[in-house]
Amino acid sequence: MPNVVVIGAQWGDEGKGKVVDLLTQFADVVVRFQGGNNAGHTLVVGGEKTILHLIPAGILHPGKTCVIGNGVVIDPSVMVGEIDKLKAKGAFQDERQLVISLDAHVIMPWHKAIDLAREQALGDGKLGTTGRGIGPTYEDKVARRGIRIRDLVDEARLARRVAERLPSAREELRRLGAASDLDEGAIVRQYAELGRRLARYAADASLVLHQAIRGGRSLLFEGAQGTMLDVDHGTYPFVTSSNTVAGNAATGSGIGPTEIDTVIGISKAYSTRVGGGPYPTELKDDIGEKLRQIGHEFGATTGRPRRTGWFDALALRYAARVNGFDGLAITKLDVLTGFPEIKVAVAYRLRGKVVEEMPCDIEELGRCEPVYETLPGWTEKLDGVRAWGGLPQNARSYVERLAKLVGVKVMGVSVGADRGETILLDNPFKR
């Protein structure tokens, strides 16, 4: 059975959760492999909105197994809260649906305190972090001093690990001029209780996934954030602290790369980003504000208004290259309804020259001015359209042009927020 990876092709917030939720009906296991609760999926099913930050979008489908891999960093209080909210809504009634890797790292109170203190110290040079401790947790992981789920579920082990790490965390907070009065005993008690709540889900996720594949079950891998926020391949340093590209689906879950059959990139029909960093097609005018309001472009996790702009074909070609996209899903096509004309960046102007590939140097990218191609818009509403042929001709032409510019075929088009408002042109699970 095929195994499919879904990746954000832009700066995050592309609607990956909606696509994953749609494709889950064809998969058996849904896997989250990186990031933390700095990400958020907004799902609308039957008009009811659900926002998830850690648990894979597949949890809304009874009978589907949801796995949080070793590449994810977990705030246990957020995880417990998310579980409780889902159960209160009548979802996630079967405890066997959720598996949390014993090797996933845990966000501790000092990680959040350090994250906020560092961002404040940067002043005007802020990176735009969410302040949820994601970066410092990944730092501890790489420095081999992190606390993992396997530590969290063993109180004696947790106490030792907290005692080892807390003194240096306090010292850093003092150096940053922040409060450093973290109570060791209180932290151990609080997190040991959270560990007891989560222990029933903790397992060797790599083995669980291996057994699922050998049993002929299909896996759907769910990325967080987007390609341009990848710590290696994004607009560094204005990036997240993990690898968001498709290659990390294997590393962050414990399977071999040869087990992946298809990689799908998710892109809005325009573009958005949150936080600082270069963004060549950004619109700081009335059109940008119109896109923000119509598209409800405010962060699912932070509520921050997103920066908005036209579709950037160079950024998408780059994303297709570093991920190896087999296809694209275009979301929020309906947001462009009513725009008399729609622009697409087909090149940049840099130092008087026209370039057709995105510069890998962030300073050079910041100097780029987009070269636009203008396409005709449409006025027909798309919310009731359920087939490709039902889209207005100009809408179809726009999507076809995007596919040609990126060099990747379109596998699906979203025309609304609800689960059912997606036109699936090519199902990767039925080939």
**Residue 345: count of CB within 10 angstroms of its CB:** 24
Number of residues assigned to the chain: 431
Q: Once rounded to an integer, what is the mean pLDDT over residues 118-124? A: 77
Residues 6+ apart with CB under 8 A from 135: 115, 129, 240, 241
CATH level 3 topology of 105-198 = Adenylosuccinate Synthetase, subunit A; domain 2 (1.10.300)
Report the distance separating Cα 374 and Cα 45, nearest Å: 35
pLDDT > 80? residue 261: yes
CATH level 3 topology of 266-424 = Adenylosuccinate Synthetase; Chain A, domain 3 (3.90.170)
Report the distance separating Cα 326 and Cα 362, nearest Å: 27
Residues 6+ apart with CB under 8 A from 110: 136, 165, 166, 169, 170, 173, 182
Note if 41 is an active site residue.
yes
Tens-place pLDDT, residues 193-247: 999 999 999 999 999 999 999 999 999 999 899 999 999 999 999 999 999 999 9
Tens-place pLDDT, residues 27-75: 999 999 999 997 766 777 667 788 888 998 888 889 999 999 999 999 9
**Residue 84: count of CB within 10 angstroms of its CB:** 12
Predicted pLDDT at 50:
80
Q: Are 184 and 166 in contact (CB under 8 A)?
A: yes
User: Taking the CA of residue 403 as centre, how many other CA atoms within 13 Å lie in the half-sphere pointing to its CB?
Assistant: 18
Q: Once rounded to an integer, what is the mean pLDDT over residues 422-430? A: 94
Report the distance separating Cα 11 and Cα 53, nearest Å: 17
Report helix, strand or coil for 119: helix
Q: Burial-class residue 37 by CB neighbours within 10 Å (0-12, 13-18, 19+).
A: buried
Note if 418 is an active site residue.
no
User: Taking the CA of residue 245 as centre, how many other CA atoms within 13 Å lie in the half-sphere pointing to its CB?
Assistant: 19
Q: Binning pLDDT at 50, 70 and 90, where does residue 120 land? A: confident
**Cα 12 from chain centroid (whole Å):** 6
Q: Are 128 and 275 in contact (CB under 8 A)?
A: yes
Predicted pLDDT at 54:
93
Poorest-confidence range of 17-26, 68-77, 294-303?
Answer: 294-303
Q: 4-101+203-262 maps to which CATH number?
A: 3.40.440.10
Q: Once rounded to an integer, what is the mean pLDDT over residues 297-302? A: 75
Predicted pLDDT at 259:
97
Report the distance separating Cα 332 and Cα 421, nearest Å: 10
Q: For all residues of the chain together, what is the average pLDDT? A: 93
Q: Are 308 and 283 in contact (CB under 8 A)?
A: yes
Domains of the chain, residue spans? 4-101+203-262, 105-198, 266-424
Q: Are 16 and 265 in contact (CB under 8 A)?
A: no
Sort strands 353-355 and 341-350 into parallel, antiparallel or unpaired.
Answer: antiparallel
Report the distance separating Cα 231 and Cα 245, nearest Å: 9
pLDDT > 60? residue 2: yes
Predicted pLDDT at 90:
86
pLDDT > 80? residue 16: yes
Q: Which of 296, 197, 52, 89 is nearest to 24 (CA)?
A: 52
pLDDT > 70? residue 403: yes
Q: Binning pLDDT at 50, 70 and 90, where does residue 301 land? A: low
Q: What is the C-alpha radius of gyration for the chain, rounded to an integer number of angstroms?
A: 22
Residue recorded with tokens 């119109």: 290
Maximum CA pair distance of the chain?
65
Predicted pLDDT at 126:
56
The DSSP line for 242-264 is: S--STTHHHHTTT--GGG--EEE
- The answer to whether the peptide bond before residue 167 is cis (omega within 30 degrees of 0) is no
In the chain, the N- to C-terminal Cα span, in Å, equals: 10
> What are the distances in angstroms from CA 402 to CA 124, 154, 234?
36, 51, 21
Predicted pLDDT at 306:
94
Candidate list 21, 28, 41, 111, residue with the active-site label: 41
Report helix, strand or coil for 208: helix
Q: Binning pLDDT at 50, 70 and 90, where does residue 18 land? A: confident
pLDDT > 80? residue 300: no
Q: Which of 286, 318, 320, 312 is nearest to 372 (CA)?
A: 312
